[in-house]
Amino acid sequence: MIKVLFVCLGNICRSPTAEGVFRTLIEREGLGDMIGVDSAGTGAYHVGEPPDRRSQAAARKRGVDLSGQRARQAIAEDFTRFDYILAMDRDNHGNLRALSPDGEEHRLHLFLDFAPGAETRDVPDPYYGGAGGFDHVLDLIEEASRGLLAHIRKHHL
Ligand code: 4NP
C-alpha cells in the first residue's frame, strides 16, 4: 500500500481538506485499498480538535465529509511510515525538512508541485481570512489531488 500524509500548520483547515478530497477521489476510483491517507500539523495548537467548521462546510458542498477527522501533530516517525509527505506551503515544507530523519527527505514534496497550472506554490492559510478563502483552498487541493493521483498511478500502480 502507498501511504500519503498531508501536512499544514494547524491540521484543522488545509490538510484535513486535502485528506478528505484525496480519500474521496481514490475511493471513487476504486483505489481505497491501494492507497492510505492521513493528515497532520506542524504545530500542536489544535491537537484533538475536529476540522474547522468553515472547512467542513466548504468540503461538504463538494461531497467531502471531514467530520470524523481529529488533529494531530506531525512526528519524525511519519517519515518512515509514509511514502509521500505533502506540505501545503513552503513554511510547512521547511519545518518538515527540519523534522525529517537523515536520508528520508525524498519523501517530502510541496503539494502544489502536483498542480503545475496553479498560480501559486502555496495553499494559502484560510484561517484568518473570509469564507471565500475556503473555496479557493478546495480548488487548489482538487487540482493537486488529481495530479498526485496521476503521479502515483504512473509510478506505483
Ligand atoms: P491550517 O490553518 O494550517 O490550514 O490548519 C490554521 C489553523 C489554525 C492556525 C493556523 C493555521 N492557528 O494558528 O491557530
In ligand 1, the atom with minimum distance to the C-alpha of 12 is: 5
Q: State how far the Cα of 131 lies from the Cα of 82, in Å rounded to an integer.
A: 32
Per the structure, how many domains does the chain have?
Answer: 1
Taking a C-beta distance cutoff of 8 angstroms, is the pair 37, 23 a contact? Answer: yes
The pair phi, psi for residue 69, each rounded to 5°, is -80, 150
Q: How far is the CA of 7 from the centre of ligand 1 (A)?
A: 11
Which residues on adjacent β-strands are paired with residue 109? 86
pLDDT at 132: 78
Does residue 131 carry a pLDDT above 90?
no
Q: Which domain holds residue 32?
A: 2-156
Q: What value does the mean pLDDT take over residues 34-38?
A: 98
Where does the pLDDT of residue 137 fall: very low under 50, low under 70, confident under 90, or very high at 90 and above? very high
Q: Is 125 in the pocket of ligand 1 (CB under 6 A)?
A: yes
Q: Please indicate whether residue 71, judged by its CB atom, sits closer than 6 Å to ligand 1.
A: no
Name the helix (H) or strand (E) containing 99. helix 90-99
Give the CATH number for residue 90: 3.40.50.2300
pLDDT exceeds cutoff 90 at 120? yes
- The region that residue 153 occupies, defined by phi over 0 for left and psi between -120 and 50 for alpha, beta otherwise, is alpha
Angle formed at CA 93 by CA 92 and CA 95, multiple of 5 degrees: 65
The rounded percent of the chain whose pLDDT value lies above 70 is 100
pLDDT at residue 95, as a whole number: 98
Task: Find where cell 509514509 sits.
Answer: 82
